[in-house]
Amino acid sequence: MDILAKKKILFLCTGNSARSQMAEGLIRHFRGEEFESFSAGIDPKGVHPKALEVMKEIGIDISGQHSKHLDEIKNIEFNYVITLCDHAEKNCPLFFTKGKRIHKTFSDPATVKKKGDDITASFRIVRDQLKEYILDFTDDEDDIA
C-alpha cells in the first residue's frame, strides 16, 4: 500500500508514557503497511523505561519514540483517534477530523506501586492486551468498540 494511502491513527492517553507508546509501536510493527501511527498525551510524562523493556522482549524497539503533547500533532488529520484511558476520553479536545473516535480502556501499568517483577508483569499484561486489540482492529465499528 502506498504511504499516501495509509490511514492515520492516534493513540491517546494521559501521560503518553506507556499504553499509547506501546500501541504506537505495536501498530507500526504489525500493521505498518496499513497505518501511520502516532501517540500523544494530555499531560506527557516521558516514555516509561518498562515500556521500552517489555516491547524489546517481543522484538519491537520503541526507543526512537518520544512523549508528545496533543499540541504537537493537532494539525494532523486522523482517520482514528483511540483513547486508551477514561481520563483521556473525558478530557480529549474535539478533533476536527472526519475520523472515528474510539474509546477502549486499558489499565495503566505505570501506576503499579510495587517494584521489580510485579511492575514488569503489569506492563507485559497491558502490552499483550494492546497487541491483541491491534491485531483484531478493523474498520467495522462493531469489532473495535
Give the E-state strand segments of the chain in sequence order.
Answer: 7-13, 35-41, 80-83, 100-103
User: Does residue 92 have an active-site annotation?
Assistant: yes
- The residue type found at 23 is A
User: Does residue 13 have an active-site annotation?
Assistant: yes
Q: Which of 9, 12, 13, 82 is catalytic?
A: 13
User: Does residue 93 have an active-site annotation?
Assistant: no
Q: Which of 70, 85, 88, 126 is catalytic?
A: 85
Give the E-state strand segments of 64-143 in sequence order.
Answer: 80-83, 100-103
Q: Which of 51, 54, 70, 92 is catalytic?
A: 92
Nearest CA to 32 out of 60, 57, 56 is that of: 60
Distance CA 48, CA 100 (A): 28
Catalytic residue numbers? 13, 85, 92
